[in-house]
Amino acid sequence: MRVLVIHTTYKLRGGEDTVVANEVELLRSVNVEVDVLQFSNAHHTLWKVIQLPFNYSSYVKTKERIRDFKPDIVHIHNLHFAGSPSVIYAIKKCKVPFVLTLHNYRLLCPSATLFVNGSIFTDSLTQAYPWNAVLKGAYLDSKFLTFWVSCSMIFHRLIGTWKYVNKFIALGQDTKKIFSRSTFKFIEATTIVKPNFCYTSSSPKRATGKYYLYIGRLSIEKGVNLLLTAFSESGLPLKIIGTGPMEQEVISASVKYPNIQFMGVLDKKFVNEQLADATALIFPSQWFETFGMVIIEAFAAGVPIIASDIGQLKYTIKQHYNGLRFEAGNVTDLKDKINLYEKLKSTDKLLYRENAFVSYQEYYTPQKNVKQLMRIYKLVLKNALVPALPAV
Residue 136 lies in a domain: no
Q: Are residues 302 and 178 in the same domain?
A: no
Residues 271 and 344 in one domain: yes
Q: Are residues 376 and 359 in the same domain?
A: no
Domain that holds residue 270: 211-364
Separation between Cα atoms, residue 222 and residue 83, nearest integer Å: 27
Tell me if 138 is assigned to some domain. no
Asked if the structure places residue 119 within a domain, the reply is: no
Q: Is residue 135 part of a domain?
A: no
The three-state secondary structure class of 348 is helix
Does residue 149 lie in a domain region? no
Assign residue 318 a region: left if phi > 0, alpha if psi is -120 to 50, beta otherwise?
A: beta
Same domain? For 323 and 285 the reply is yes
Contact status, residue 323 vs residue 344, Cβ threshold 8 Å: no
* Count of CB atoms situated within 10 Å of the CB of 12: 10
Per residue in 118-130, pLDDT tens?
Answer: 999 999 999 999 9
Phi-psi region of 27 (alpha: psi -120 to 50; beta: other; left: phi over 0): alpha
Query: What are the pLDDT digits (tens) for 178-233?
Result: 999 999 999 999 999 999 999 986 778 888 899 999 999 999 999 999 999 999 98
Question: Is the residue at 146 inside a domain?
Answer: no
If asked whether residues 295 and 306 sit together in one domain, one would say yes
Question: Both 273 and 166 in a single domain?
Answer: no
- Whether 221 and 308 map to the same domain: the answer is yes
With respect to residue 120, please indicate whether it lies within any of the assigned structural domains: no
State CA 51 to chain mean position distance.
25
Contact indicator for 77, 99 with CB cutoff of 8 Å: no
Q: What are the pLDDT tens digits along the chain (392 aa)? A: 999 999 999 776 777 898 999 999 999 999 999 999 999 988 778 899 999 999 999 999 999 999 999 999 999 999 999 999 999 999 999 999 999 999 999 999 999 999 999 999 999 999 999 999 999 999 999 999 999 999 999 999 999 999 999 999 999 999 999 999 999 999 999 999 999 999 986 778 888 899 999 999 999 999 999 999 999 989 999 999 999 999 999 999 999 999 999 999 999 899 999 999 999 999 999 999 998 899 999 999 999 999 999 999 999 999 999 999 999 999 999 999 999 999 999 999 999 999 999 999 999 999 999 999 999 999 999 987 544 455 54
User: What is the DSSP pairing of strand 167-170 with strand 98-102?
Assistant: parallel
217 shares its domain with 97: no
Q: What is the CATH number of the domain that holds 303?
A: 3.40.50.2000
In this structure, the answer to whether residues 88 and 229 fall within a common structural domain is no
Listed in sequence order, the residues at least 6 apart from 69 whose beta carbon sits closer than 8 Å to its beta carbon are 2, 4, 35
What phi and psi, each to the nearest 5 degrees, are found at residue 197? -145, 170
Statement to judge: residues 352 and 223 lie in one domain: yes
Interhelix angle 247-256/224-231, nearest 10 degrees: 0
Number of domains composing the chain = 2
221/331 same-domain check: yes
Q: Are residues 220 and 344 in the same domain?
A: yes
338: in domain = yes
CB 313 within 8 Å of CB 288: no
